[in-house]
Chains A and B, each alone.
Chain A
Amino acid sequence: MFGKINTLNLDIPKTKGFWLSVFARLSRNKLAMTSGLIIVILTLMCIFVPMVSSVAFDKTDWGQIMQTPSGQHWFGTDSLGRDLFVRCFIGGRITFEIAFAAAFVVLLVGIFYGAIAGYVGGKLDTIMMRVVDVLYGIPFLFFCILLITLFGNSMALSFVAIAAISWLDMSRIVRGQTLSIKHKEFVEAAMISGVSNLKIITRHVIPNLLGVVIVYAALTVPNMIVMSAVLSFFGLGVTEPMTSWGLLISDGAQNMQAWWLLLFPAGLMIITLLSFAFLANGLRDALDPR
């Protein structure tokens, strides 16, 4: 935006940028950093474990049914003799895919929708927010079942369903923030300088509400993991032999005597959810220096 100014070769000392100082504060928070590290490691494992593993996630082995965890099968095997370790990470991959993709859409749609409604205000704001209210009134599961009966069961659909419901919250939060930023004097200063409304939104409003949005996004991702798990638990979205954490947990819950079937996927999910919560907490503190 103003990049051209800073690229001039001026003899001026660089000070720490805003995001650098946020990162510096975040890195002092051990819990948040550990959580971030765990998320990164889990994400990498979800990508690479199914790739490098010698057993395919859907390879059934009738000689190895319901094996307890061992050196050969680290997380044990399920009722069809499939290796749970690989299944946990292929399931994680699907879960993360849905959650991150949905979070991305939620951020994009929610921020622009909320910022425009809040900044323009008046009748447009009323109409846009009533639309949100109406959509909010549709029950989530009912909405999913409706989508599936209309378009058939697929993974893409569960992503659409989650994204379609989750952007509502984000747009409300962003609108509220925008309302408070809109009347700040620096926005008025930009108006007096003849800056167009769209530029004010992208240059002044959105950068100033990113802090809240990032925290909320970090809290949204676990929400979506839970949602996709709920959908899978009911048999919507992901179907066998593909799997997700929700499906694995549902499978484990039906075979309680084989404790490992429930413990490992549930444990992974809980670790992920906690990590996101701690990271969000740390981000909130780092973004607000007071």
Chain B
Amino acid sequence: MKKILSVKDLKVHFHLGRSWFKSARVVHAVDGVSFDVFEGETLGIVGESGCGKSSLARALCGLNKITSGSALFNETIELATANKAQWNDVHKQVQFIFQDPVAALDPRMTVAEIIAEPLITLYPQMTSSQVMAKVLATMKLVGLSQNQINRYPQEFSGGQCQRIGIARALILEPKVLICDESVSALDVSIKAQIINLLQDLQQQLKLTIIFISHDLGVIKHICKRILVMYLGNIMELGDKQSVYENALHPYTKALLSAVPVANPELEKAKQIQLLEGDLPSPINPPKGCVFNTRCPQATNECRATRPQTKMVANNLVSCVQIH
């Protein structure tokens, strides 16, 4: 399978300015992650809030600057050093769907203007009738009706706003769709609709989807491979089956044990591995393995050496104790 995105040792750091009494501090939002995304697959990225999922996703579409490392798109464009023209090429092929469907739409624009904007910007040679035809076709594709075209975003529900957001992303016919918590703000029934819509569209348009969520149920439903992040680092990466059934990393195990089970008998019998404490500050990440402060199996070795990611069974794991 073709690698559509190849990420190597990618770092996204944010510099907090030097204040009077403190020296300059650096937030290590994403601290050296490597993974590949293959054409047509759905990669899920999970992790608790503040683990760098969004920073990673935003870096891949140009909203955050890549501090170091490499991200090769389509085997041709290096995102870390891309110029304006190359980014425009990437924008045509990598689109983003936001978490808050309402905030993602300009309240002063009509639906037609919102959906047409990327097309008008990136393909200025298109005539207005071509643009209009494309807008209508895309609206139909995501299940919006033609007569809503002149309305404003305030007149729509959250689910419909998300459809408009998806239409805006799809009008460019992108290869990759990055969904950053795209269904988290929707209520359960609408969530299911949008997820099914995304799945249908993926099959129809041969999309590659990078799906970011903290909802393990949704991830399990939609993704083929799963990447578990913690404090800017990859903890585990593998196929859905092997991550859900044979999780190796203690962090993945803890995450999975916290998912409620629908069967009350099983739920009662289940052992929940609660993690103590909070996520450490990404300004000052722990030495050694970043998870050592909360890991139930942490040893002195974990506190001293930073684990390398290695292939164990079917998963990529970064933990010194797993061989």
Contacts and interface: CB of A to CB of B under 8 A. Distances in A.
Given A191-B63, A193-B117, A13 B103 contact: no
A188 B100 CA distance: 12
Contacts of A8: 128-129, 132
B107 A208 contact: yes
B121 interface: yes
A200 to B, nearest CB: 10
Interface in A163-188: 184-186, 188
A2 to B, nearest CB: 4
Given A185-B104, A193-B122, A195-B121, A6 B62 contact: no
B291 interface: no
A12 B118 contact: no
A204 B121 CA distance: 14
Given A193-B122, A194-B91, A5 B117 contact: no
Interface residues of A, number: 27
B173 interface: no
Interface in A1-26: 1-2, 4-6, 8, 10, 12-15, 18
B305 interface: no
Nearest to B152: A18
Given A2-B112, A184-B103, A204-B106, A192 B96 contact: yes
Given A5-B128, A188-B98, A193 B112 contact: no
Contacts of A188: 63, 96, 98, 104
A192 B63 contact: yes
A4 B116 CA distance: 11
A1 B91 CA distance: 21
B120 interface: yes
Contact of A190 (B61, B99, B117, B131): B117
Contacts, number: 94
A13 B147 contact: yes
Contact of A189 (B149, B168, B172): B168
B151 A186 contact: no
A186 B103 contact: yes
A195 B103 CA distance: 18
Given A5-B128, A185-B98, A208-B106, A193 B146 contact: no
Nearest to A187: B106
A256 to B, nearest CB: 53
B127 to A, nearest CB: 9
A207 interface: yes
B108 interface: yes
A189 B104 contact: yes
B150 interface: yes
A184 B100 CA distance: 10
B276 interface: no
Nearest to A181: B106
Contact of B132 (A10, A191, A199): A10
20 contacts: A2-B117, A2-B120, A4-B128, A5-B116, A5-B128, A8-B128, A12-B147, A18-B107, A185-B98, A185-B99, A186-B103, A186-B107, A189-B96, A192-B61, A192-B63, A192-B91, A193-B91, A193-B172, A194-B87, A194-B92
What are the nearest 4 A-B pairs in CB distance? Answer: A193-B118, A185-B104, A4-B128, A186-B106
Given A186-B105, A193-B117, A204-B108, 7 more contacts: A2-B112, A2-B116, A2-B120, A188-B98, A191-B63, A192-B95, A192-B118
Interface of A: 1-2, 4-6, 8, 10, 12-15, 18, 184-186, 188-195, 199, 204, 207-208
